């Protein structure tokens, strides 16, 4: 059951409050519980109770909780920041270490912790993400951020870097390097693991490549001040560059990592110190690639099960485009619904052309997003069959704006209904 459904079922939040938080999540990114907490609609205790039910595990309220130093000392600061975990209790008699995290079901996290916990028994508890991140900052505030060689070895031994032959897909990294060049060592190490890199030096160039291509990862290297870094991230968000949807790694001076943790709320995947070793970053990028590969395999499986034809009752236009995009297919999608016809052409998974009832480009796609009855078909084509493009926006931009328009339409219809009553 979804978190919003659990909260409504138990009377912890009203449907109107959930809708407002979801609207804010769509426009600003982040997690649903973060916005509910920020609006003051649901207190931490009730959120933890709902998360505990969702993950079927114990939860922990970290606000104003006194955490013994002996527990904090069990996990090095860099690992806690990297994995977004916080040890909050340690029983030396039973040798049990209790750790707060966002996803206790993460088997990879549990395996990693078992490898670095020095024989301690690990118990994972779910916590509210934003409160967890603040607690990590507070309890490791005085600890040096730059990892020691010992810490790096712990992470490397817990999570070995896979060789290029073990990867299942290529991966395009779009790099924004502010105030300095991209180190050659970083370029060599990433290329050795099968990553294709495009380097830009300013936000205009970064945006241009973002619009033209479909990057899998963002890496932002910034050696400026904290204010300059915050301004840079804000500028990217204002340009509708979805750092909360494309995994984004921010590399800054080690002394500034602590003061930039709030950017995790904007959707940054992780914030790491700039140094001579990029092992930790490559490990994290490999995890993202494995995660994306798993999602792609699942989506391809759904497409195979449904075949090249289906109904909108089984899969609507939004779901269809979300599943076809990562497939990188070149295809024509024909959708008939509500007495209208929507035709979309994909080039390597990207929407390059759409038309519906005289509307073209994104406006044509928006027509079909609300259809709940009809049929669709997917036909593979060659590059020679592609029409002249009438769209340059990424799929994510179109779907995000389409969801916003659907919400506006729903609100107008709800308002009219209330007026009639």
Q: Encode pLDDT of 311-361 as tens digits.
A: 787 678 887 887 777 667 889 999 988 888 999 999 988 999 999 989 999
- pTM of the entire structure? 0.42
Query: Is 304 or 321 the better-scoring residue by pLDDT?
Result: 321
Q: What residues have CB less than 8 Å from 35, skipping those under 6 apart?
A: 20, 21, 24, 25, 28
Residue with tokens 């490397």: 156
Query: Of the ranges 39-48, 158-167, 258-267, which one carries the lowest mean pLDDT score?
Result: 158-167
The pLDDT value recorded for residue 131 is: 84
One DSSP character per residue, 33-51 reads HHHHHHHTSS-HHHHHHHH
Alpha carbon 45 to chain centroid, angstroms? 25
Strand partners, 123: 98
Of residues 192, 179, 190, the one with CA closest to residue 217 = 190
Give the integer Cα–Cα distance in Å for 244 and 347: 24
Q: Identify whether the C-beta of residue 194 lies closer than 8 Å to the C-beta of residue 167.
A: yes
Angle subtended at Cα 337 by Cα 335 and Cα 340, rounded to the nearest 5 degrees? 90
Mean pLDDT of 239-255: 85
Q: Which residues pair with 200 in a beta bridge?
A: 176
> How is the chain split among helix, strand and coil, in percent rounded to 5?
50, 20, 30
Cα dist from 166 to 153, 163, 206, 283, whole Å: 21, 6, 30, 13
Q: Are the beta carbons of 179 and 194 closer than 8 angstroms?
A: no
Q: What percent of the chain shows pLDDT beyond 70?
A: 83
User: Within 94-172, where are the H helices?
Assistant: 107-116, 129-139, 149-158
Which pLDDT belongs to residue 186?
82
Nearest Cα to Cα of residue 83 among 360, 300, 287: 287
Q: How many CB atoms lie within 10 A of CB 142?
A: 7
Q: How many CB atoms lie within 10 A of CB 170?
A: 11
Side-chain-facing half-sphere of 404: CA atoms under 13 Å: 11
196 vs 218, 222, 291, 392, CA distance in Å? 12, 20, 18, 22
106: its two tokens: 């993460």
């Amino acid at each position: 059951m979804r978190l919003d459904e659990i909260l409504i079922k138990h009377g912890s939040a009203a449907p109107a409050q959930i809708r407002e938080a979801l609207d804010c999540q769509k426009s600003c990114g982040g997690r649903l519980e973060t916005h509910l907490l920020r609006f003051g609609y649901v207190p931490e205790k009730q959120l933890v109770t709902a998360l505990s039910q969702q993950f079927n595990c114990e939860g922990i309220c970290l606000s104003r909780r006194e955490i013994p130093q002996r527990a904090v000392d069990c996990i090095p600061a860099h690992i806690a920041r990297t994995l977004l975990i916080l040890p909050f209790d340690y029983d030396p008699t039973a040798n049990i270490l209790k750790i707060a995290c966002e996803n206790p079901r993460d088997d990879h996290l549990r395996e990693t912790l078992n490898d670095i916990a020095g024989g301690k028994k690990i118990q994972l508890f779910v916590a509210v993400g934003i409160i967890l991140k603040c607690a990590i900052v507070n309890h490791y505030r005085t600890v040096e951020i730059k990892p020691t060689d010992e810490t790096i070895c712990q992470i490397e031994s817990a999570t070995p870097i896979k060789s290029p032959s073990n990867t299942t897909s290529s991966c395009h990294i779009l790099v924004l390097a502010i105030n300095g060049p991209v180190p050659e060592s970083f370029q060599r190490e990433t290329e050795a693991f099968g990553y294709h890199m495009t380097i830009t030096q300013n936000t205009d160039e970064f945006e241009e490549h973002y619009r033209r291509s479909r990057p899998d990862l963002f890496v932002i290297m910034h050696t400026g001040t904290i204010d300059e870094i915050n301004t840079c991230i804000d500028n990217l968000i204002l340009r509708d560059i979805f750092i909360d949807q494309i995994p984004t790694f921010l590399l800054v001076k080690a002394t500034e990592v602590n003061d930039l943790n709030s950017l995790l709320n904007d959707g940054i995947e992780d914030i790491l110190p700039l140094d001579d070793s990029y092992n930790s970053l490559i490990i994290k990028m490999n995890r993202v690639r494995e995660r994306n590969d798993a999602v792609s395999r699942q989506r391809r499986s759904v497409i195979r099960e449904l075949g090249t034809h289906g109904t909108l009752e089984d899969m609507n236009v939004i779901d269809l485009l979300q599943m076809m995009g990562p497939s990188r297919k070149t295809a024509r999608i024909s959708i008939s619904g509500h007495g209208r016809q929507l035709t979309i052409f994909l080039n390597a998974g990207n929407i390059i052309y759409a038309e519906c009832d005289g509307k073209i480009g994104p406006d044509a796609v928006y027509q079909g997003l609300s259809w709940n009855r009809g049929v669709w078909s997917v036909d593979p084509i060659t590059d020679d069959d592609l029409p002249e493009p009438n769209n340059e926006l990424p799929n994510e931009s179109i779907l995000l704006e389409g969801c916003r328009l659907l919400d506006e339409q729903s609100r107008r219809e709800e308002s009219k209904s209330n007026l009639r009553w």
